[in-house]
Amino acid sequence: MLGDNFAKKLESIPLSNDTVELMIQLKMYSISLLGKLRDNSEELLFCKPIELKATALALFAILNDYIIEGNIDWKNCVGICTDGARSMSGRFESIQALVKQKSALCIWTHCMSHRETSKETSPGLNIVLTTVATVVNYIKMRPLKTRIFSALCKDMGAVHLALLFYCEARWLSRGKCLQRVFELKHEIAVFLADMFRDGLFLMKLSYLVDIFE
């Protein structure tokens, strides 16, 4: 904004000894950190589809079968990181509890990556998320409304006949819930006439579908 000449004058101003020392320390820290990051390596153990319900017992059975097939000692498992869902982090009959039965010293930590990713979501998008959760709960938590909505979807020839529950702790669950709401937006618009005829609301909803997909 002030021009190249002013920028050159700023560059010609000598820095204090403290500032120079701080810049050197920061560069040294950055080089040290990069060296440590280069030495780290991650390997994917396996990836398998979940054909049954994603219960703790079903998920642990898949994991345990692979551990046995690979002749891996459960005692080598020193840590497990999952989200905060009950099937993952509960004290009883969860992935955490079942793994600790095999490896008593295993430490569980709560994965916060999905929350950190969504933390910066703008207030406008958060309003849409909250509204979607309210709409889904309004329909799903009332058996009569659920049956009426299902009959409405059937009469309108919709691909799906029901909404999916919204779970705050599960990133994938939220993504699927948002996608289902967006796919049934016309049916929901008939069921809840005002909200789902708002063009700006629907635009934000489609944007959230892309974020959580």
pTM for the full predicted model: 0.43
Return the pLDDT at 112: 66
Taking the alpha carbons at both ends of the chain, their separation in whole angstroms is 41
Domain boundaries, given as residue ranges, for the chain: 56-111, 118-212
Each residue's pLDDT tens digit, 107-162: 888 776 655 555 556 777 778 877 888 888 888 888 888 888 888 888 888 888 88
pLDDT number for residue 45:
81
> What whole-number distance in Å separates Cα of residue 54 and Cα of residue 129?
24
62-85: per-residue pLDDT in tens? 889 988 988 989 888 888 888 777
Rounded Cα distance between 158 and 151, Å, is: 10
Give 166's pLDDT tier (boundaries 50, 70, 90): low
Q: Which of 118 and 180 is assigned the larger pLDDT?
A: 180
* Per-residue model confidence as pLDDT tens digits over 2-59: 667 767 777 777 777 777 777 787 777 777 777 666 766 777 788 888 777 778 888 8
